[in-house]
């Protein structure tokens, strides 16, 4: 699969997730098989570009290419300016956020709220493409099926985006109204893929290698994008890639390997965020790693009381050492939904 001039290693991508897909997490997922990773959302507001939060989100030190940065905003000129700011700092792909369902984003008419105003959405796309195209920087679009069940306009907007120069579209199979509730439907993705020439990526409820296979087969999508299922389980990408290539499953990771991966993740995380913020923000990652493991819930409660990186790292090492006394490998994941949802296209043509 290619995005503009960039050929990807495989068809399994890390979805951009605010507060999650920072540089340490992206790099770890890439090491463990992801063929592509997009940064967490970066604001288009110039007055915030020099803030510590934004500078961390825009950090790509040592990251393998292509470097993809997601930008969010509501004003075409400001979004164009944000695209230039990021391409000047090494971005090779600019992703436009029209998929975030968070209230604090949608209340400002950014993210998925833009799908309610197609004229504005298209103006933003055109402005960003005008800046990026002369520099060979590809523009992509991440969106939902629509704002609500009565306003499912993803197909129409995807066609307009393609005509405006967007080189890939990723679609989360839910409306903004659904948030992350219910089951994602991929019929909309199938309709969009049938209509577009550019690559189309399916996102939503892809939690296993079987999900990836089934969604790719049912939609004809060029790739799958994995978000929440990768939290605490970054090796899901090598599992998916192996299964898609061979039809066989990899064994679950060794406890000793997960111990090493998490401790390395923490070192990189503390390096980016510093001691105080790093300790606080690492808690969610540690919690995701241990949530399905024996004793994981009790350990998470204990770990959330620790206030230093040294104490966190020592506690993590001890937890996995004890786990390794009784298990060689992580337990197999529990049963998961097939992730296909409704594959009817009758409502996807709105």
- Of the chain, the percentage scoring pLDDT greater than 90 comes to 72
Q: How many Å apart are CA 82 and CA 90, to the nearest integer?
A: 13
* DSSP reduced 3-state for 200: strand
Under the banding of pLDDT at 50, 70 and 90, the label for residue 52 is low
pLDDT the model gives residue 109: 42
pLDDT of residue 115: 85
Range 332-349 burial, b when 16+ CB lie within 10 A, else e: eeeeeeebbbbbebebbe
pLDDT at residue 339, rounded to an integer:
43
d(Cα 167, Cα 100) in Å, to the nearest integer?
20
Query: Which pLDDT score, from 0 to 100, does residue 148 have?
Result: 65
Residues labelled as active-site residues: 100
Percent of the chain whose pLDDT exceeds 70:
89
Pairing of strands 2-3, 6-7: antiparallel
The model's confidence at residue 350, banded by pLDDT at 50, 70 and 90, is: very low
**96's torsion region: left (phi>0), alpha (psi -120 to 50) or beta?**
beta
**Per-residue buried b or exposed e for 101-123, using 16+ beta carbons within 10 Å of the residue's own CB:** beeebbeeebbbbbbbeeebbbb
Residue 71, pLDDT > 70, answer yes
Q: Is the pLDDT of residue 317 over 80?
A: yes
Query: Other CB atoms closer than 10 Å to residue 314's CB: what's the count?
Result: 13
- pLDDT tens sequence across 284-304: 999 999 999 999 999 999 999
105 pLDDT more than 60:
no
> Looking at per-residue confidence, does 336 or 176 come out higher?
176
Q: What is the pLDDT of residues 137-151, one digit of tens each?
A: 999 999 988 876 777
What integer is the mean pLDDT of 15-37? Answer: 95
CB hemisphere CA count around 43 (13 angstroms): 16
Nearest to 147 by CA among 181, 111, 182: 111
39 phi/psi in degrees, rounded to 5: -65, 160
- Per the listing, tokens 């550019």 go with 198
More confident residue, 106 or 37: 37
Categorise residue 65: left if φ over 0, alpha if ψ from -120 to 50, beta otherwise. beta
**Residue range 236-280, pLDDT digits in tens:** 999 999 999 999 999 999 999 999 999 999 999 999 999 999 999
pLDDT digits (tens, 9 = 90+) for 192-205: 999 999 999 999 99
For residues 156-180, give the mean pLDDT: 91
Mean pLDDT for the stretch of residues 109-121:
79
Mean pLDDT over the full length of the chain:
88
**CA distances in angstroms from 21 to 56, 230, 231, 237, listed in the order given:** 11, 10, 9, 14
Pairing state between β 168-172 and 138-144: parallel
The CA distance from 302 to 204, in Å, is 32
Give the single-character DSSP code of 66: S
d(CA 135, CA 96): 17
**Distance (Å, rounded) from C-alpha 318 to C-alpha 192?**
49
Residue 337 pLDDT: 38
Q: What are phi and psi of 133, to 5 degrees?
A: -55, -45
Other C-beta atoms lying within 10 Å of the C-beta of residue 214: 16
100 pLDDT tier (thresholds 50, 70, 90)? low
């Amino acid at each position: 699969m290619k995005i503009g001039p960039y050929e990807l290693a495989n068809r399994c991508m890390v979805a951009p997730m605010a507060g999650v897909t920072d540089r340490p997490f992206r790099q770890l997922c890439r090491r463990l098989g992801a063929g592509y990773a997009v940064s967490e959302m970066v604001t288009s507001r110039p007055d915030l570009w020099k803030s510590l939060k934004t500078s961390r989100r825009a950090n790509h030190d040592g990251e393998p290419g292509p470097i993809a940065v997601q930008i969010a905003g509501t004003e075409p000129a400001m979004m164009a300016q944000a695209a230039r700011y990021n391409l000047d700092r090494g971005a090779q792909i600019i992703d436009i956020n029209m998929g975030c369902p968070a209230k604090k984003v949608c209340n400002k008419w950014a993210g998925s709220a833009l799908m309610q105003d197609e004229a504005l959405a298209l103006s933003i796309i055109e402005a960003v493409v005008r800046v990026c195209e002369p520099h060979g920087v590809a523009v992509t679009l991440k969106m939902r099926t629509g704002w609500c069940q009565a306003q499912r306009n993803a197909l129409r907007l995807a066609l307009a985006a393609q005509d405006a120069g967007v080189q890939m579209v990723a679609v989360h199979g839910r409306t903004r109204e659904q948030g992350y509730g219910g089951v994602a439907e991929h019929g909309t993705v199938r309709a969009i893929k049938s209509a577009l020439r550019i690559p189309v990526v399916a996102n939503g409820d892809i939690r296993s290698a079987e999900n990836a296979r089934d969604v790719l087969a049912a939609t004809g999508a060029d790739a799958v994008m994995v978000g929440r299922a990768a939290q605490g389980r970054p090796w899901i990408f090598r599992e998916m890639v192996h299964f898609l290539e061979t039809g066989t499953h990899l064994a679950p990771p060794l406890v000793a390997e997960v111990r090493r991966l998490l401790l390395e993740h923490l070192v990189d995380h503390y390096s980016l965020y510093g001691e105080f913020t790093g300790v606080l923000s690492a808690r969610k990652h540690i919690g995701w790693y241990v949530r399905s493991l024996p004793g994981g819930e009790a350990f998470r409660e204990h770990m959330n009381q620790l206030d230093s990186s040294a104490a966190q790292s020592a506690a993590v090492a001890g937890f996995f050492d004890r786990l390794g006394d009784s298990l060689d490998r992580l337990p197999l994941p529990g049963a998961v939904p097939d992730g296909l949802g409704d594959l009817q296209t009758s409502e996807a043509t709105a």
